[in-house]
Chains A and B, each alone.
Chain A
Amino acid sequence: MKFKALLTDNGIIQLEKRFIPALDKMGKFCHIYLTPDHFFILHNLLSPSSPQSIAQFSALSLFDDYRISSQFDNVIAFSIDLFLLLRALRSSSSICITNPNPNPNRLQIKLVKKLPPNSTNPLPFLTFESKGYKSAVIQDIPISKPLSRSSLVELQDALNAANEIPKTLVQVPDLGQLQNYVDRLKNVGELLDVTIGKFGDLYLQVSTSLITVGAEFRRLTVLGERASRGVGEDRDLSAQTRARRAIERGEAESVEVSLKHFGKSLQYHLAKPDCTFYGVGMNGGCLTVIFQFFVPGSRQTDKSISLHCRLPVLDPGAS
C-alpha cells in the first residue's frame, strides 16, 4: 500500500489551527481513514459505548498531488495519537512559514515502513517532510499497523451506520455560552437528560436526589420533522412541566447521556463551526451533534467538510 500527498497551506491551517485541536479533546487515539476522495479522522467507531466522532474532509480541499493505492479498493486505515500528529504539524508548519520560497506545497505526508532504533522489525510511520530555506525536517509519527480487510469492513460499516441523520434537529444558540453553563453543571451531577422538541425546544437537565438544575431553550431553528405550537399555550408552566407534556404528546424525545461526553462535544467550538444541531438518533440510541461549516464569506454549506458526533445514550428515556 502506498500513500503520499502534499498538504496545502489551507490544509495546514484547517488541520493545525481548527480541527485537530478540537478533535484532540474527544480522545487521544483515533483512526485515520484514507480513501481516494476523502480524508477521515474517526474516534471510537469500533467502541459504541464511547462518544464517537466523524470528521470527513474532501482530499482536494486539504491536499495536492494526493496519491493512494492499496489492495483493499485503494483505502487505508490506521490508528494514530492525535497529539503527536498535532505536534508534528505545528513544528513542520513553522518551518514552512520561515521559507521565503513562494512554492505553496512544501509539506509532504507519506506512509512509510522504517526500522526504529534498537529494533530489527520495521514499523509503520506517517512521515512529515517539510523543506525550509536552508533545512529540511523529517518527522516520523508512529502509527498502528494498517487495518486488515476484515477490520476495514467493520470500520466502513460503522461509518455508514454513524452517518444516519436524526429526523428532527434543533439548532443550538451559542455554543460557547452552552459550554460555560455545562461546565458549571459538572459540580451537580454526572448524567444529563436531553430533551429535543419538534417545536424547536431544547431542555438540558442534571438531577441528583437533592437537586435538579437545568436549562431550557425555546424557539430554536428546526430542521426535519417539526410541529408548530399554539400561541401562548403553556407559557406559564415550569420548564420541566413543558418538557414532560411535550414528551407525553409525542412532540419531543428525551435521552440520557454522560455529562462528560456532552462536554467533550461542546469543545468542538474550537473548530469554529457556523451552526450546531442536536437530534436524537434512530430508536433513541444516541444523541447526534452535527456541526455545519459555511463557505467563508457566504451562508452556503461547505461540502468539503463534515463533522459530527454521536454520544451514546445511557438510558433510553421516554420518547
Chain B
Amino acid sequence: MDLSTGMETDGPDLVCQLDNVQGMVDALSAVRWKRHQDAVVELSEHGVVLIVEESHCLQAKVYLQRDLFVRYEFGAQRRPRFGVSLGLFVDCLNTFSAPGRSPMIEMRYPGPDMQLLLKSVDSLDSCIFAEIRTRIPDVVSWDYNFEPAGSTPLSFTVKSAALKEAIDDLEWPGSSIQITLQPVPPSVTFRGEGHGDLQIDFMYYVNTDLLVAFHCDRQVSYRYKYKFLSATTSNLPSNVIKDNRGSKLTIGMGGMLKVQHLVSVAKPSVPHPHIDSAGYQQPSRIAYIEFFVKPDEDEET
C-alpha cells in the first residue's frame, strides 16, 4: 500500500470473467436512452454497479452481482469508482461476441493507465482485447434518496411487455404522463392529455395476468415527463419480453418513481431447470435494473 497516494500497488482491484457477453450487453443496453451517456461504475466485493443519470431527473442503475461472473476476484481496500462512456463500453463488448459463439472474457481494472481492460480468454492461440479509457467521475450531485411514501408501500408489479406497450402508446398525446394508483377499485391508470387524450387502465383482480401484484391504501397521483418515463422501458432487451417477466413500480416520498426490471444474463444454450409461468430462473443469472424518475410536479389528491 502506497501511503502517500493511498493506492494499492500490488494486484488489480478487480479481475473477473464472464461467459455470456451478450447477456451483459443486454443488461447495459437497458439503460441506454441517448447516444452519448457517461456512466459511473462502482466495484465492490458484491459485484459491479453501473449508474447513469440525466439532468437530475432520471437515474438508472444496473446491478451485476458477483454470482453472474464465472470468476470474481476483488482485491481493493475501498470501492473503486470510475467514469466510462456507456456507449463505448457496450460497443466494445459487442466486438467480442460473434454469431453462434460466446467467448469467455476477462475484465480487469485498473490497467497501467487506469484503463478498463478486457480480453477473450477461451483460446491459447488467438484473443480479442480492448482497453477503455476511464475518467475520475464527478460526485453525484443529486441524492436519489428513495424513501417509502408511508408505512404501507405504494407499488404494483406489471408484466414488462404490457408496461412497455402502454408507455409506447402514450407517446401519442405528447404530454407528461399521469400515473394514478387507487385502492378502490384496485387499479393503476396511466394518462396523457395533449394532442387528444389517452388513458390506459390496469385493473387488479380483473386481469391478474397483466397486473401481478398491487399494494395501495390511498389514492395517489403524480405526473412524469414522457421522455424520462419512456427511457425506463425503451431499451428493454427482448429476453425480458420472451421470458414473460414482470416489472415493479413503486411510488416513494414526494412522488419519486422507482421502476425495477429483471434481465436474464444466462447463456442461451443453458437449459432452464425450472420454468414456471413467471419464467423463474436461478437468481444468480439475473441482472437487476433500477430507474428513479423525479415527478414533474406534485399532485396529490
Give the interface of A toward B (CB within 8 A).
173, 177, 180-181, 184-185, 187-188, 209-219, 238-240
Looking at chain B's contact residues, the main secondary structure is strand
- The answer to whether A239 and B129 have CB atoms under 8 Å apart is yes
- Provide 17 A-B residue pairs closer than 8 Å at the C-beta atoms, listed in order of the A residue: A173-B126, A177-B98, A180-B99, A181-B128, A184-B95, A187-B95, A188-B91, A210-B85, A210-B88, A213-B128, A213-B129, A213-B130, A215-B128, A217-B125, A217-B126, A239-B129, A240-B129
B132 at the interface (CB under 8 A from A): yes
B128 touches A214 (CB 8 A): yes
Which residues of chain A are within 8 angstroms of B129 by Cβ–Cβ distance? Answer: 213-216, 238-240
Taking CB as reference atom, which chain B residue is nearest A200? B125
Q: B95, A188: Cβ atoms under 8 Å?
A: yes
Q: Please state if B95 and A185 are interface contacts (CB–CB under 8 Å).
A: yes
Q: Is the beta-carbon distance between A239 and B119 smaller than 8 angstroms?
A: yes
When the two chains form their complex, are residues B133 and A209 in contact, meaning their CB atoms are under 8 A apart?
yes
Measured CB to CB, the closest approach of chain A to B245, in angstroms, equals: 29
Which residues of chain B from 225 to 250 have any CB-CB distance to chain A below 8 Å in the complex? none
Nearest residue (CB) in B for A174 is B126
Assess A216 versus B126: contact at CB under 8 Å? Given A180-B99, A188-B95, A210-B85.
yes
Distance, CA A281 to CA B220, complexed state (A)? 74
Query: What's the Cα separation between A214 and B85 when bound, in Å?
Result: 19
A215 to B105, CA, bound (A): 13
Q: B149 in the interface, Cβ–Cβ < 8 Å?
A: no
How many A-B residue contacts, CB cutoff 8 Å?
A: 59
Interface string of B93-131 (1 = CB under 8 A from A): 011001100000000000000000101000011111111
User: Cβ of B131: which chain A residues have Cβ within 8 Å of it?
Assistant: 211-212, 240
A218 to B98 CA separation, bound complex (whole angstroms):
20
Not counting A212-B131, A213-B130, a sample of 19 additional A-B residue pairs whose C-beta atoms are within 8 angstroms of each other reads: A181-B128, A184-B95, A188-B91, A210-B133, A211-B92, A211-B130, A213-B95, A213-B128, A214-B128, A215-B127, A215-B129, A216-B129, A217-B125, A218-B125, A218-B126, A238-B117, A238-B129, A239-B127, A240-B131
Contact present for B130 and A214 (CB under 8 Å): yes
Distance between Cα atoms of A215 and B117 in the complex (Å) = 13
Please name all residues of chain B whose beta carbon is closer than 8 Å to the beta carbon of A180 when the two chains form the complex.
Answer: 98-99
Q: Please, how many angstroms separate the alpha-carbon atoms of A76 and B117 in the complex?
A: 56
Task: Pick the most buried of A180, A185, A214, A217: most chain B CB atoms within 10 A of its CB.
Answer: A214
Nearest CB of B to A197, in Å: 13
Q: Nearest Cβ distance between residue B222 and chain A, in whole angstroms?
A: 39
Smallest CB-CB A-B distances: 3 pairs = A213-B130, A184-B95, A212-B131
B127 touches A216 (CB 8 A): yes
Q: For residue B92, which residues in chain A have a CB less than 8 angstroms away from its CB?
A: 188, 211, 213
Residues of chain B in range 154-173 having any CB-CB distance to chain A below 8 Å: none
Given the complex, which residues of A lie within 8 Å of B95, measured CB to CB? 181, 184-185, 187-188, 213
Q: Bound complex: CA of A175 vs CA of B129, how far in Å?
A: 19
B residues less than 8 Å from A219 (CB atoms): 125
Which interface residue of B117, B124, B130, B132 has the most chain A CB atoms within 10 A? B130
The complex places the Cα of A177 from the Cα of B95 at a distance, in Å, of 12
Q: Which residues on B sit within 8 Å (CB–CB) of A239? A: 119, 127, 129
The residues of B that contact A217 with a CB separation of less than 8 Å are 125-126
Q: Kindly provide the distance from the CB of A300 to the nearest chain B CB, expressed in whole angstroms.
A: 27
Q: Please name all residues of chain A whose beta carbon is closer than 8 Å to the beta carbon of B117 when the two chains form the complex.
A: 238
Q: How far is the CA of A49 from the CA of B130 in the complex (A)?
A: 30
